[in-house]
């Protein structure tokens, strides 16, 4: 996608979909700043990126904490001089339960990471992008942000909010030639989705196999999404080929939720 000499921050970049996104951006030429809570995961992913001939910086950061986000952004600028791309991927799955049974602490934790964390990262990087009159912000939302998602209210609301943030920032930052978009995956095959399935199975009194089959059969293509599918769209949106795409929430869902 021609991302040579670009600098990309990927939150949650050391594991699961975030790790796949980080590797894809590096393969397309970007240097990557890896953000997350686990130093070992970040370090291992940084080694993989360096093996691709790109530079990598790992910064342990809690994206829900503004001071840590600001310090991370300053560190990225010290090392690379600028930030061209931000991928707000960090997120937690939260509880699986009826809304009336979810505690305030559970609600606050999910919103703090999934939505406030993205807001803080956007807030920290936007002035630099505005001054340079260029930049790409890509928020990893979800099909859960476009539909009713029973038993997952904090997660769903965080993703609805993230889409709202995306559209609002696209409007505010458009005059500065900054593109802001959201990627909305359907169920993504992997360990994280398996945990969602197992939690849902316990809550519904079903087997994990039944719940998994329900997700698959709901999708038009009768399959789950692969992390590489999400990364491919992120790479496209980060590239010059997407310079006239902004304010969009684009599905990568195998037809889930349509």
Which residues have a catalytic role annotated? 155
Phi, psi dihedral angles at 246 (to 5 degrees): -155, 155
Q: List Cα–Cα distances, 74 to 9, 13, 137, 143, in angstroms.
A: 12, 18, 17, 33
- Where do the H-state alpha helices sit in the chain? 16-27, 39-51, 66-80, 104-111, 117-132, 153-173, 191-204, 208-218, 227-238
Q: Which residues contact 31 (CB under 8 A, 6 or more apart)?
A: 5, 6, 7, 8, 54, 55, 56, 57, 80
Q: List the Cα angle 170/42/243 in 5-degree steps.
A: 25
């Amino acid at each position: 996608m021609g991302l040579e000499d670009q600098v990309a921050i990927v939150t949650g970049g050391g594991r699961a979909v975030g790790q796949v996104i980080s590797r894809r951006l590096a393969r397309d030429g970007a240097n990557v700043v890896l953000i997350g809570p686990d130093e070992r995961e970040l370090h291992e992913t940084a080694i993989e990126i360096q093996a691709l001939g790109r530079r990598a910086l790992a910064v342990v950061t809690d994206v829900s904490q503004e001071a840590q986000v600001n310090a991370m952004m300053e560190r990225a600028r010290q090392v690379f001089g600028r930030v061209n791309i931000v991928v707000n991927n960090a997120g937690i799955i939260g509880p699986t339960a009826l809304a009336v049974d979810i505690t305030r602490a559970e609600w606050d934790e999910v919103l703090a990471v999934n939505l406030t964390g993205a807001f803080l990262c956007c807030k920290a990087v936007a002035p630099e992008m505005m001054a340079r009159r260029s930049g790409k912000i890509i928020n990893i939302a979800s099909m859960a942000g476009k539909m009713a998602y029973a038993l997952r209210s904090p997660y769903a609301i965080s993703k609805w909010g993230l889409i709202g943030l995306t559209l609002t920032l696209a409007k505010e930052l458009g005059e500065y030639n900054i593109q802001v978009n959201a990627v909305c995956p359907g169920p993504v095959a992997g360990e994280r989705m398996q945990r969602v399935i197992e939690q849902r199975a316990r809550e519904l009194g079903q087997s994990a196999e039944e719940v998994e089959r329900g997700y698959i059969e709901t999708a038009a293509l009768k399959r789950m999404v692969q992390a590489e599918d999400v990364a491919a769209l992120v790479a496209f949106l980060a590239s010059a080929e997407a310079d006239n795409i902004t304010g969009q929430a684009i599905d990568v869902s195998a037809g889930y939720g349509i």
